[in-house]
Amino acid sequence: MKPSAKSREWEFFRDESGRIAYNPKCTECAKDCKQSFRAELVRCPVFVKSKDKAKSADASCD
């Protein structure tokens, strides 16, 4: 039986023990846009906002 596209997609999220693992930046996030631990952080609205705040704080110190 051929695996469905949904089950093949979840294989990207499974770690060595077969459990679903997310990117460390996504593990504590409440949003449902989780990314696999295998991927670099591609797009995250929460992470982008926090980086923007850090940049504006750094800019004000100059």
pLDDT digits (tens, 9 = 90+) for 32-52: 888 888 887 777 877 666 656
pLDDT, position 35 = 84
CA–CA distance, 27 with 33 (Å, rounded to integer): 11
**pTM of the predicted structure, to 2 decimals:** 0.56
pLDDT tens digits, one per residue of 14-30 = 988 989 888 888 888 88
Q: Which residues contact 28 (CB under 8 A, 6 or more apart)?
A: none
Task: Report residue 57 as tokens.
Answer: 């704080």
Q: Which residues contact 56 (CB under 8 A, 6 or more apart)?
A: none
pLDDT, position 11 = 86
> What's 32's DSSP letter?
S
Instruction: Count the Cβ atoms, other than its own, within 10 Å of residue 20.
Output: 13
